[in-house]
Chains A and B, each alone.
Chain A
Amino acid sequence: MSSQSLWIQIPLILGIPLAALFIIPLIKGATAHSAYSNEDAVDIGMDLAVLATGACGSIFANDTLYAKWGIASVVYGSLTTLVCIIFIAWLAMIRRWHNTAPVSNGQAMFHVLIGAIPLGLVTAILIMSYPFGARR
């Protein structure tokens, strides 16, 4: 896997969380009981973090990651899952005690950022495993 393919993968891997970011509010907004607003950003962040937690299992079963790290990829997978859960807990705390209206655009971006960090971490591990990983 050459580093040239990395520059093809980065827009793709950035695009998937971005697509999720737009699809989740459309689904939730279409079915929300109350007016959809910045207060729901923390829910979007939690959904992104849960998405990252779910992606950990499939990503750490990747052959390229296993060739690079061997059995240690199981440990890294478990640690990444724990990190994702910590971010979910942080967002749950925000939703319970710090999500009082009105929530500004900056706060909404911060709430989504907290949820997007685990997703970015998982995608970054996948990206970084390719250019410096096992050469076939």
Chain B
Amino acid sequence: MQLIYIALIGLGAAGFVSLFAPLSIKAGRALQQKIQPEQDAAARSGRLQFTK
């Protein structure tokens, strides 16, 4: 019975956390655009540039 509780709580926690995945990816993307707005051009030229 306790293993079922552990599995349910684990799955519930994982499901709850995964609901925020698109939001966290958008936050990462927004920070990327703020810190290195020219990352695409830098990636094409084979080097990484930081603007700050």
A30 and B43 in contact, given A25-B24, A37-B25 (Cβ under 8 angstroms): no
Assembly CA distance A117 to B25 (angstroms): 19
State the CA gap A121–B27 with chains docked (Å).
26
A75 sits at the interface (CB 8 A): no
Check if A123 sits within 8 Å of B10, measured CB to CB. yes
Q: A35-B32, A120-B11 are in contact. Are A25 and B17 (CB under 8 A)?
A: no
CA distance A40 to B25 in the complex (A): 8
A98 to B13, CA, bound (A): 25
Asked if A14 is at the interface (CB within 8 A of a chain B CB), the reply is yes
Q: How far is the CB of B28 from chain A (nearest CB, A)?
A: 3
Q: Which of B21, B24, B32 contacts A30 (CB 8 A)?
A: B32
A25-B24, A37-B25, A125-B6 are known contacts. Are A30 and B35 too (CB-CB below 8 A)?
A: yes
Give chain B residues whose Cβ lies under 8 Å from the Cβ of A124. Answer: 5-10, 13
Give the total of A residues in contact with B, Cβ under 8 Å: 43
Whether B27 contacts A113 by the Cβ 8 Å rule is no
Assess whether A121 is in contact with B25, with CB atoms less than 8 Å apart. Answer: no
Instruction: Judge if A134 is at the interface, Cβ distance under 8 Å.
Output: no
Contact B2 A17 (CB under 8 A): no
Is the Cβ of A32 less than 8 Å from the Cβ of B17? no
Residues of A within 8 A of B42 (CB): 33
Q: Once bound together, how far apart are the Cα atoms of A121 and B3, in whole Å?
A: 10
B interface list, Cβ under 8 A from A: 2, 5-22, 24-25, 27-32, 35-36, 39-40, 42-43, 48
List, sorted by A's number, 13 A–B pairs whose CB atoms are closer than 8 Å: A21-B24, A28-B28, A29-B31, A30-B35, A44-B24, A109-B19, A110-B18, A113-B14, A116-B15, A117-B14, A119-B13, A123-B9, A125-B6
